[in-house]
Chain A
Amino acid sequence: MSERNIARWTACATRGAVVSARRRTRLGGAVALLAAALLSGGALQAQETVSPSGLGRPLTDAEQHDRIVGPEGADLPPGSGTAAEGEMVFARRGCSACHGPTGLEGPSIALVGGDITTRSNYFPIRHWPFAPSIWDYIRRVMPYDRPGILSDDETYAVTAWLLYRNGIIQQEEVMTAETLAEVRMPGRDDYQQPGTWTPETRRGFRILTEP
């Protein structure tokens, strides 16, 4: 049941009305005049800044800094870190309390070594298909009890240390947006990119009654 045909704001009149409501509440006089001029003169420019409903606000700076990083490094922020710095971050930021002083001892999961096929470790770092995803996960989710406290630099450093400890990069390699994106994970080829989806595709296991 596709929802593409649902009723929405289509008439120009509606958009105009919504924008003038915004103008009253948000915009100062001069800007309002400009917005009105844009609306009457060039609908295209107006479309870029105002949603069809007129609802929603732009992201704040803080919100823009809270990002999801792409597997190949898209949206990695500036910054850098090395394994040596990362070892210190690991202790200073309390990662070791759960993962052990060298990332091996626990009491929680080991971050060094492990093989997914033997289930000796449920989350081997080596098995992540993309290195920037590890940065992304640590930045948004760790430390487990206080997620989000690491700075971008600290995250580069601790990622470098974990990659080094797992034998994926050399000890002295500096991790930045560029170098991290270039790291090739050993398990990368085990994964096939998920295929795309359309409503017409038949997928998965079904017996078709038709030949």
Chain B
Amino acid sequence: MKRTNRDRRRFLKQGAAVAGLVATPQALELAGGSAAAAAQTVVDHNALESVLYGKRSRFVTTTREVEGRSHSEQTLIRPHPHRPSARTPLAELTGTITPTPLHFTTQHHYGIPDINPDEHTLRVEGLVDRPLVFTMDELRRLPFVSRVYFLECVGNRPNPRAETVTGTHGRMGCSEWTGVPLSVLLDEVGLRDAASWIVAEAADGGKHTKSIPLGKALDDVLVAYGQNGEPVRPDHGYPLRLVVPGFEGIYNVKWLKRIKVVDQPYLSFQEHSRFLTPNPKTQRDAYDFGPNSVITQPSGGQELQAHGAHVISGLAWSGSGAVRKVEVSTDGGATYREAELAGPVLPKAHTRFYLPWRWNGEEAVLQSRCLDERDQLQPTEAEYARYWNLTRGQLYGTVQSQLGHCNWIQPWKVGRDGKVTNGLEPVDVVVDVHA
């Protein structure tokens, strides 16, 4: 099947070259092929619908991967249809930008609000000289920036031993965001001396509310209306969302309707109970992500078809800034070699790396580690467990419920048969929420 596609593509190209034009059926006939077969593949893309809004090749069928309902979800009665979480299909993507329709989304307890941008406003109030309400039109008349930032759920890595990289790391994506720096808006309203935090509120039924330290708000937070060159899509917060670079996903309030300037963190509904635990260590860490990286190719569930030349490729990122260096090991961490950064290398953004590699048919354990611009190095699983003073079993037991920020190195094992599996050893999970 794959072979045929490649042949057809080459053949289309030749046809085009002969005709000196695009690949019309006539051109294809000149090239000596079957025009009827080729025309079939073109016709859908000639339809007006496809001319107006480009379609993928019918051979590209990648989708997000839907997650199951969490236990807490199953116990609740909700008036809205449940919208499940969906992961980014990391293994199928290239480069650094996640196509918006494939960008992960978390479960939406209150459904996706259907917001008319002509009626939507953003109010900025609290400890300010002049509380003001801005229309979407007014927001677009303010100075703006476009920046590339990754966005990751704090609960990424829900199952470190999952089969595929989408299963282990799929709750993240990277986009070019366009919008007004929050510092510009705060200048518009004028900060009072007592101001030290902001509280951001969403327009959905749950009024998602999150406290952010003022230092961060003034640094690089964006009030974004654009994602990857188009309006932010509804499941990402249309028409307006907060982008809090390098911080946990939950800070990036969607459907943003209010910024309130305050003098203390509010610890509102989304900031305790399920989301913040009475563990001082976890609380201290609850802002930006440490250095991280993962190999997406070859990765779990894939199969190497042949010995010889391959390229190991993946993503590296850090909530603290730019990636300085990525190293790749093919022997489970005994030795590392520096990988190439495929560029662009931007702060708090996914960075693509690769390393050419020859597979000789022997077992290999592939893993990467990231060093960021602050000389922070990605830890191994053992180092991570030691830091939290947990056994491996306890570590896995608390991964989902408490820790988050699971940035330890991910090994992938290549078997003699070419099959790639998760290289993290099996573990007897100890569920101990007090740990």
Residues on A lying within 8 angstroms of B by beta carbon are 1-4, 6-8, 47-53, 55-60, 63, 68, 70-72, 74, 98, 106-109, 116-117, 119, 122-124, 127-130, 133, 136-137, 140-141, 144-145, 147, 187, 190-199, 202-210
B376 CB → nearest A CB, Å: 4
Q: How many pairs of residues, A versus B, come closer than 8 Å at their CB atoms?
A: 208
Which residues of chain B are near A133, meaning CB under 8 Å? 266-269
A128 CB → nearest B CB, Å: 7
Q: Is the CB of B220 within 8 A of A2?
A: yes
Q: B260 in the interface, Cβ–Cβ < 8 Å?
A: yes
Closest to B372 in A: A206
Residues on B lying within 8 angstroms of A by beta carbon are 72, 75-79, 123-125, 129-134, 138, 141-143, 145, 147, 181-184, 187-190, 196, 199, 201, 205-207, 209, 211, 213, 215-216, 218-220, 222, 245, 258, 260, 262, 264-269, 272-274, 276, 278, 280, 283-291, 320, 347-348, 371, 374-379, 383-384, 387-388, 405, 407, 433-434
Which residues of chain A are near B75, meaning CB under 8 Å? 109, 122
Q: Is the CB of A56 within 8 A of B188?
A: yes
Q: Is the CB of A191 within 8 A of B376?
A: no
B273 CB → nearest A CB, Å: 5
A60 CB → nearest B CB, Å: 8
Complex CA distance for A202 and B373, rounded to whole angstroms: 12
9 closest residue pairs by CB, A with B: A56-B132, A190-B278, A3-B181, A206-B376, A108-B77, A204-B285, A197-B213, A145-B79, A51-B188
Q: Is the CB of A47 within 8 A of B190?
A: yes
Q: Is the CB of A130 within 8 A of B188?
A: no
Which residues of chain B are near A106, meaning CB under 8 Å? 77
Closest to B132 in A: A56
Closest to A136 in B: B268
Complex CA distance for A104 and B212, rounded to whole angstroms: 34
Q: Is the CB of A191 within 8 A of B272?
A: yes
23 A-B pairs within 8 Å (CB atoms) are namely A6-B145, A8-B187, A58-B132, A59-B125, A60-B133, A63-B133, A70-B262, A98-B77, A106-B77, A107-B77, A108-B76, A119-B433, A124-B273, A141-B206, A144-B205, A191-B272, A194-B211, A194-B267, A203-B287, A204-B287, A206-B290, A206-B376, A207-B379
**Which residue from B132, B141, B280 sits with its C-beta under 8 Å from A192?**
B280
Q: Is the CB of B371 within 8 A of A209?
A: yes
Which residues of chain B are near A140, meaning CB under 8 Å? 207, 209
Q: Is the CB of A55 within 8 A of B138?
A: yes
Q: Is the CB of B273 within 8 A of A7?
A: no
**Which residue from A1, A57, A68, A191 sits with its C-beta under 8 Å from B266?**
A68
Q: Is the CB of A127 within 8 A of B145?
A: no
A192 CB → nearest B CB, Å: 5
B216 CB → nearest A CB, Å: 5
Which residues of chain A are near B190, meaning CB under 8 Å? 47-48, 51
A107 CB → nearest B CB, Å: 5
B131 CB → nearest A CB, Å: 5
Q: Is the CB of B133 within 8 A of A8?
A: no
**Which residue from B222, B265, B268, B278 sits with its C-beta under 8 Å from A137?**
B268
